[in-house]
Each structure stands twice: as C-alpha cells, then as structure tokens.
Amino acid sequence: MTTNLVPDDYYRAARKLLPEMEGNMREIVEELLNKAESGEKTDNRLVEIITEDKNLRKKFRDALETGQEKTMGMEYSGLGGNVSSPDAQKYICPVPGHDFTRRIQKAGEDPGSCPTHNVALIPFEQKGGQ
C-alpha cells in the first residue's frame, strides 16, 4: 500500500505517544509539537527523535498506519445508488444450427446482424431460448 503522509500525520502520531515517553524526550517532543502548532515544520526532527527509541519506533509506525487507514476510509465511501449492471439483452442469429450471439446494454440499441449470414439478429428467447 502506498501512503502519502503529511506532517500532520506525524504530529498526530507523536501526540498519541507522549504518555509513553520518558521525561527529557517528552519535553523535547512537546516543544517540537508546540512549534509545529505555530507553523514551524518539525516533523522530520520528531521522526528522528522518536525512532531512536526501539520500542517507540514500532508504536510510532503503528500509530501512523492506524491513522492512515482511518483517513483512507473517510476519503472514499463507495459509489452511491445501485452499482450492479443491468442485465444485457441477448440476441442470436436466426439461422438453424448457428449460435452467433451479441448482448446489448442500452434499451433501443440495434443488435446488428450476423456477420456470417448477414441477417438481422433476433431476441434469444425468440429462437427457442437455447
């Protein structure tokens, strides 16, 4: 899965991990988050600091993935309405023993003719519904 993380994703994940950080690291991260709230870009430094700690590195990665999944779920909610295709009407060559068929999707669409016999195709049911 390709992820396009933005600085806010890193800030959110760092805030989530604050309670698990020890004194000095927590102070530094809080200071960087405060600077970020003031408009300064601090995401790269946050990543450097948090990923130095082996335990926090995995939790940070998990927090980023969890946040990305939630975001992705909100970006796309599927198509509205009935997404199933309508049944296509089937036409067949009327010549006995020949089974050339064509399906049309739109009402009123001309089914055309059989390329072998050059005769107009008829509704499948009309030939006996073989």
- pLDDT for 78 equals 59
Q: List C-alpha distances in Å: 26 to 45, 51, 64, 67, 121.
A: 13, 13, 18, 21, 77
pTM over the 0.85 mark: no
Residue type at position 66: T
Residues 52-105: pLDDT tens digits? 998 899 999 988 886 554 444 455 555 566 655 566 788 899 999 888 988 887
Give the model's confidence band at 2: pLDDT under 50 very low, under 70 low, under 90 confident, else very high: very low
In order of 15, 35, 38, 43, the CA distances from 5 in angstroms are: 16, 19, 20, 11
| pLDDT of 1 | 45
pLDDT of residue 103: 85
Mean pLDDT of 19-27: 89
Longest dimension (CA), the chain: 88
